[in-house]
Structure 1
């Protein structure tokens, strides 16, 4: 299930929310068995993938990237910025604490070295017809919640219906129209039947990925999924809450009675006894706390800090490790997002003019120490990134969409960001181009240097910004706004606290916002939730631009109907091209590696899997190193 968005320049996805990505390559099929039931082919397996291939066989011992002998114990801690007032991440109201989903499991789970494959977690096997009209999950009878009660098919059905009744509106709208029925066959067997005449994509994997909650707890407490609350239902996962101190700290502890420790999918994972989240008002304070030893693991996103501030004594003494680790996921599609719901933002000429105020080259050299690359695509550095003019299968597909496709999309190269001079913040060539575009859009400049329309109304733009992101990011955006003002635009960078930011973001109360879209490597109904027009005429929390494009909708629909990897790749390449043509955001920067610093008491597999840093998942604690750090006074 998709979670509420959070804003960061580059933020590592948490295990329950991570985005798995890989090359669109099929692997050797292992562990699947088909058998005929009359004329119908029934597939039984230990997991599920849409094309029927799984990397790991039914009798696999552990995921290839873990250390199955990793010791259990110790603590890992990291910082979170801003505030929280809830431990319910499934509600629109409130700001949920970090890792608030980690107590809950689903029928299927993912690995960090494969794409679009699910392996049995609460379910020991999955059974479905070849046409994917229905699926039956056979659950593990030993599974139980942290309060000792069993996890049953009744809990699965309850959780599914609770999401449809009280979940996020965009989720309800997307899932309810695809589900025909949910049937509990017995305490540990559940069947989902899907609506006829729709794509078979994101059906089995969607229901297999729904978090499972305790029906008993919800019925006894009367709690609702759509309410902000600190109380949590018992989960079935390896961690449970130890303590919550609002706006200060959250501590999770490993459940010694966790039912699934011996499962192959869990070997070498969930190794820390405690996971501690320390909250700070801004990153400057958080960084000083890291140096002091108040928390022990830091994923850095601020280029200035990474380039110049990691020279304190604990680094030089070897007590803190500073390193770059490879990141195989496509970079998050981060940037300055236009709110297309606002009339002023509907004119593409105005958006293009505003974009010219962003100078990546000067920003990267002057403020970011030349450490970043400019992002161009929603699937950067992947086989489905659109490059050049369309050709082959992609061109044929775009032509099949008829008049929905602008003629220039068929002949011109995919849209690329503008270039700027690295020598000065204000690129005069770009400034002149922006001025001309604004004039053409009906916003001429007056004698006072301000731009107004024919009604005499000022061209005002409000840029909403979370002030917990102070630092280099704030400086970059201040310079961007300064360039807007030089164009005659009345622009305001409104810095608000995290609680206000979350509320304003959800109410779409902004003209510009520094936000992100999730990149994609495969198709699924989540694409419609992020990039598509809401079916109910409402809005999606995962679409900050408010994009509503018939072309994008058609491309997503076509991708869901793809029957081969090649066909799917062509539609997704077209989607990347079309999204860039729609121009919903100003792309900023990305880095190919994780910037990581941590106290020298942790170990990790080498090599790491391509699609997750996994420091809360498959890293482990070295007791002897930890004792040496404490003896030296490096940790508090």
Structure 2
């Protein structure tokens, strides 16, 4: 992703890339081809590994897995901003050059590519395709398909554009070999390109790739689209001729003969379908409901099994995001005041029975999260050059407000009133207004079916009334929600970003300045922070793991003290209710059940 702080690099991209690549080539021809690649160090698995450690290579094959989802779909192209595609479409039907092990922080193993090698400082990466790799129509996967896919994806979605902007050249260096040379120092780029989807170029000749379409993509993955009805269901059928079924990376994975996804208007309807035996798995996000609503007959008889699966992922961020493009939320004091007004302890007790911990920073629950108190050591050194632009707390220390658990939340509301007054907002006739007499009013955009979130927001809105703030909830269907958030057409909305133990280029998509105006990024808050972008650059170029950790912790401080989101709660376990016929291995990956665990390594047993 293009780092705004280093925009000057892109003005000289071709000149720098040419000199850089030539120097690297003359100094060293690069590493030997490898079966895998890790962000730091070497892959944990040996070259002759049998299967991934969290997969059962002897898992039975066959059976149907019935899943549910809320909302619907109107497109079968998941690689464009237009339309909404089924959640599982890409992961089940399309493959990448390398595949990710979710039992390691960031390690990839051969998939479409049988080997990978890099330049001496990862200034270039070269992939050699597996000669057996085939698309579902039987055509071989070629270097031309790879290059076309990467270029086309970059034009169609900002998710792919940032990394591609750092590619100076893409060239065929052998019958099955492709090399990408970079114009920017970024040690993650070889891994990022290894995870790009590869599509069949021939399928899209004469067609508009960026358009919404109900034509399924031709991929090389284990499944093909079998049948569908937009908004109601889609079924995936295992490809009996799947080329990759015997790869070590795939042994014990994708075991079902058919996967069907049915769509429901809201989570309540989907839960009732699960209780009735119409779908096989239900993820429960509410601990109170998990404790109190799973005594239905199938659960009592053992036909439904209740499992909790732990994980060691960062908490990520989930909460209400301020759209700072709106004048009402530009002042950090206003945002802090609204954070103070959010009575987490009372809301958590009401909605979750107090069972869930609060998100304290974007990378909390992990070694990458910011530490309590003032910034010290490498973290402070990284932030010092930006001290004049950092918001209060970034260097001195910051923590979210706590209440006594009562509904009144008086101490925090008094602090909120003071901050709002400093920002020019005072109560006039019971209504909070600015000097121009404009009332403090905004909408909270929520997707349909988010019952627990809506319950929390309703409590919050009642608290805001005590400050003279007029807030209201607007709920829209999933299609409208995607359209409005892609175009940043909201005041405040529900926001969730799952963050990993290996943050990289995607961070620029989340927090980069281009998202202030460019539609379709994940920068919903509209932040523009040179400090955050500099931290991203550091974590992308660090060769030392300690420096990587320090850069992430520093970035976490910038994000958290930016007061862009009112943090909610997170779960350190996943709660999954499922049919007793569905099994999974006893070895759980460090990432827990997401991503790459369900349905990837599950199987059906009578």
TM-score norm. by structure 1 comes to 0.87
Matches of 1:73 and 1:148, distance apart in 2: 22
Q: Structure 1 CA distance, aligned partners of 2:331 and 2:464?
A: 17
SS in structure 2 at match of 1:463? strand
Q: Distance in 2 between matches of 1:497 and 1:408?
A: 38
Residue in 2 that maps onto 1:300: 284
In structure 1, the partner of 2:602 is 619
Segment of structure 1 superposing worse, 337-346 or 384-393? 384-393
> What is the DSSP-based 3-state SS (H/G/I as helix, E as strand, rest coil) of the residue aligned with 1:115?
coil
Q: CA deviation at 1:356?
A: 2.3
Query: In structure 2, how many angstroms separate the alpha carbons of the residues matched to 1:302 and 1:230?
Result: 35
The answer to whether 1:516 aligns with 2:505 is no
Matches within 5 A, 1:372-383: 372-383=356-367
How far, CA to CA, are the matches of 1:89 and 1:510 in structure 2?
24
Q: Is the 8 A contact 1:336 1:513 kept in 2?
A: yes
> Which of 447, 457, 464 is the equivalent residue of 1:466?
447
Once the two structures are superposed, what CA deviation does each residue of 1:170-209 show, in whole Å capped at 9, x if it has no partner?
632x2343111111234421111111xx223222112211
* Closer/same/farther in 2, CA of residues 520 and 320 from structure 1, 3 Å limit: closer
State how far apart, in whole Å, the 2-side matches of 1:512 and 1:536 are: 15
Aligned to 1:251: 235
Q: Which of 81, 91, 115 is matched with 2:80 structurally?
A: 91
The match for 2:548 is 568
Aligned runs of 1:308-319 on 2, under 5 Å? 308-319=292-303
**86 and 41 in structure 1: CA distance in 2 versus 1, 3 angstrom threshold:** closer
* 2:375 equivalent to 1:390: yes
In 2, Cα distance between equivalents of 1:320 and 1:169: 41
Partner of 1:266: 250
Q: Distance in 1 between matches of 2:279 and 2:515?
A: 45
The alignment partner of 1:43 has SS state of coil
Q: Indicate which of 142, 150, 174 corresponds to 1:160.
A: 150
| Kept in 1: contact 2:121–2:187 (CA 8 A) | no
Sort the Cα spacing of 1:595 and 1:38 in 2 relative to 1 into closer, same or farther, 3 A: closer
Distance 2:159 2:599 in 1: 30
Structure 2 CA distance for partners of 1:428 and 1:331, relative to 1, 3 Å: same
DSSP-derived class of the 2:117 partner: strand
> d(CA) in 2 for partners of 1:382 and 1:393?
18
Q: Verify: 1:443 aligned to 2:431, yes or no.
A: no
C-alpha distance in 2 between matches for 1:308 and 1:163: 45
Alpha carbons of structure 1 residues 299 and 548: separation in structure 2 relative to 1, 3 Å? same
- Determine if contact 2:82/2:212 at 8 Å carries over to the other structure: yes
Provide closer, same or farther for how the CA distance between residues 127 and 387 of structure 1 changes in structure 2, counting only shifts above 3 A: closer
Post-superposition Cα deviations, 1:496-524, rounded to whole Å, max 9, x if no partner, equal 12222111111211111111223243342
Q: Is the 8 A contact 2:77 2:217 kept in 1?
A: no
- Count of residue pairs the alignment pairs up: 578
RMSD of aligned alpha carbons: 1.9
Aligned position for 2:413: 431
Determine the C-alpha separation between the residues in 1 that align with 2:440 and 2:472.
11
Q: Which moved more, 1:292-301 or 1:519-528?
A: 519-528
- Map Cα deviations across residues 366-391 of structure 1 (whole Å, 9 max, x no partner): 22122211110111121121122222
Check whether the contact 1:170–1:534 (CA below 8 A) recurs between aligned residues.
no
Farther off after superposition, 114-123 or 91-100: 91-100
Aligned-partner SS, 2:428: coil
- Cα distance in 2 for partners of 1:39, 1:464 equals 54
The answer as to 2:96 corresponding to 1:116 is no
- Structure 2 counterpart of 1:409: 394
Show the counterpart of 1:286. 270
Deviations 1:404-453 (A, max 9, x none): 4457533x22x2221123232x3122222222222221121112x11111
Shift of 1:393: 2.1
Residue 394 of structure 1 contacts residue 570 of structure 1 at CA under 8 Å; is this kept in 2?
yes
Which whole-Å deviations, capped at 9, do the CAs of 1:569-627 have from their partners, x for residues lacking one? 1111111111111111011001111111011101111131121411201111102xxxx
C-alpha separation between the residues in 2 aligned to 1:237 and 1:523?
Answer: 26
SS of structure 2 residue aligned to 1:555? helix
Question: For residues 311 and 559 of structure 1, what CA distance do their matches in structure 2 show?
Answer: 47
Inter-partner Cα distance in structure 1 for 2:116 and 2:303: 47
Pick closer, same or farther for the CA change 1:176–1:600 going to 2, 3 Å. Answer: closer
Partner of 2:17: none
**Cα 1:73/1:212, change in 2 over 3 Å:** same
**Alignment correspondent of 1:320:** 304
Q: 2:460 aligns with which of 443, 463, 480?
A: 480
Which of 602, 605, 629 matches 2:582? 602
Whether 1:210 aligns to 2:228 is no
Are the counterparts in 2 of residues 522 and 572 from structure 1 also a CA contact under 8 Å? no
Q: Deviations over 1:518-554 (max 9, x none)?
A: 3243342211111121189634521111111122122
Report which stretch shifted further, 55-64 or 262-271.
55-64
**Unpaired segments ≥5 residues, structure 2:** 2-24
Q: Is the 8 A contact 1:304 1:472 kept in 2?
A: no
Partner of 2:435: 454
SS in 2 for 1:355: helix
